[in-house]
Amino acid sequence: MIISIDIPHPPSCLTKNGRRRTHWRTQQTATKAMRDDTIFLIRCKLSELSYSEEEFPWKKAHIKVHQDYANTGLDYDGLASAVAPAIDAFIDTGIIQDDSPRHIESYSMTANKVAHRTDNRIEVTISKA
C-alpha cells in the first residue's frame, strides 16, 4: 500500500533558513495551513484509492520525499523542515502512529532538476512496511 501526495509550493518560511528569518506567528500560520491542506489531500487520495479505515494506523512505514526544483533546490535538512507539517498530517489522519524511528523504518530524500519553475514540487510518499 502506497499513499503519495504532491506539495506544489511549500512556504519558504518553513525551511531551515526561513525559520531563522521569519516571525514565529508567520511560521505557525504557514505550518497550520500546510497541515490542513495536506490533510485534505490525504483524505481525497484515500477516497480515490478506496482504502478502508480499518487498515490504519500502520505500525511500520517507509517515507520518501522527492523534490523537483528549477533553480536551486533545498538541501536535505531544509527539505526535511519544509515537509515536517505534511508528515505530521499523516499522523493526524491516522495513517501512521508516529514519525519516530520506532515506526518509520526508512526515510529517504531525493532531488531532481527540472526545466521550469512551474514544475517545482515536492512529493511525499508513505508506504506500509
87-125 tens-digit pLDDT = 999 999 999 999 999 999 999 999 999 999 888 999 999
Cross-strand bridge partners of residue 106: 62
pLDDT of residue 51: 79
Where in the chain are the domains? 2-128
Q: Average pLDDT for residues 5-12, to the nearest whole number?
A: 88
Give φ, ψ of 59 to 5 degrees. Answer: -70, -40
Q: What is the 3-state secondary structure (H, E, C) of the chain?
A: CEEEEEECCCCHHHCHHHHHHCCHHHHHHHHHHHHHHHHHHHHHHHHHHCCCHHHCCECCEEEEEEEEECCCCCCHHHHHHHHHHHHHHHHHCCCECCCCCCCEEEEEEEEEECCCHHHCEEEEEEEEC
CATH architecture of 2-128: 2-Layer Sandwich (3.30)
31 pLDDT above the threshold of 90: yes
| Nearest residue to 82 via CA among 24, 11, 23 | 11
pLDDT of residue 108: 96
Instruction: Read off the pLDDT of residues 45-103 as tens digits, 9 standing for 90 and up.
Output: 998 888 777 788 999 999 999 999 998 888 999 999 999 999 999 999 999 999 999 99
- CA 94 remoteness from chain centre: 15
Q: How far apart are CA 101 and CA 63, in angstroms?
A: 11
